[in-house]
Chain A
């Protein structure tokens, strides 16, 4: 697609429910990133993938959070047993290539519009 697409744009759920947030990266982009952004704060890294392999999940807050990218394209971020503190904007980004070596402009991250999650 022309840009990074995230769905849904807004998600309201009740505490204790599971939610799945979808990210469709720019076609051909190798790397995909998930961030969480609280109101008035900068994005906070959660995890990222190169192709289908999850390279770093150190930013995931706890084991209720998981992500997958089974075919190296679309990714899903799943939050189980949601809590009110999970309410935030969840952003996805993609880049053409991983890493910095020889990257030039290929490591620029392009962001989606985000999914605003509200847990009641």
Chain B
């Protein structure tokens, strides 16, 4: 079974600064995918970034990047130059085949 743990229920950051959200996961599979989804107040689920477990290179998407530590089963999200629009719940997820499991989420508030 897969489990995903997000140990930070809430975080805040000043606009334009950098923040890192933590995520650890547990899977016995060797081939899997990891995701960060953003859920703004509208409650949409928006894909932020995706990492393939067999790739060592950390994924990046503009201001968003990950620190993927496969041996430690850690998958943190770094948001650079934080913007007010980044305020949202952020969910980490692990996917094996069609089985996707989510963490409990981290509520991020970007302060002006």
Q: Which residues of A are interface residues toward B (Cβ below 8 A)?
A: 31, 33, 40-45, 48, 50, 55-56, 89, 91, 93, 95, 98-100, 105, 107-111, 113-114
Confirm or deny: B31 has a beta carbon within 8 angstroms of a beta carbon on chain A.
yes
Q: In the complex, what residues of B have CB within 8 A of residue A89's CB?
A: 43
- B96 near A100 with CB under 8 A, answer yes
Confirm or deny: B32 has a beta carbon within 8 angstroms of a beta carbon on chain A.
yes
Provide the bound-state CA to CA distance between A95 and B95, in Å: 13
- A33 near B44 with CB under 8 A, answer no
Number of A-B contacts (CB under 8 A): 58
Say which size band chain B's interface belongs to. 20 to 34
Expressed in whole angstroms, the minimum distance between the Cβ of B60 and any Cβ of chain A is: 15
Query: When the two chains form the complex, which single residue of A31, A40, A43, A105 contacts B98, counting CB atoms closer than 8 Å?
Result: A31
- A108 near B47 with CB under 8 A, answer yes
Q: In the complex, what residues of B have CB within 8 A of residue A113's CB?
A: 42-44
Closest B residue to A110 by CB, please name it: B47
- A43 near B45 with CB under 8 A, answer yes
Q: In the complex, what residues of A have CB within 8 A of residue B96's CB?
A: 100
Closest B residue to A109 by CB, please name it: B100
- A45 near B100 with CB under 8 A, answer yes
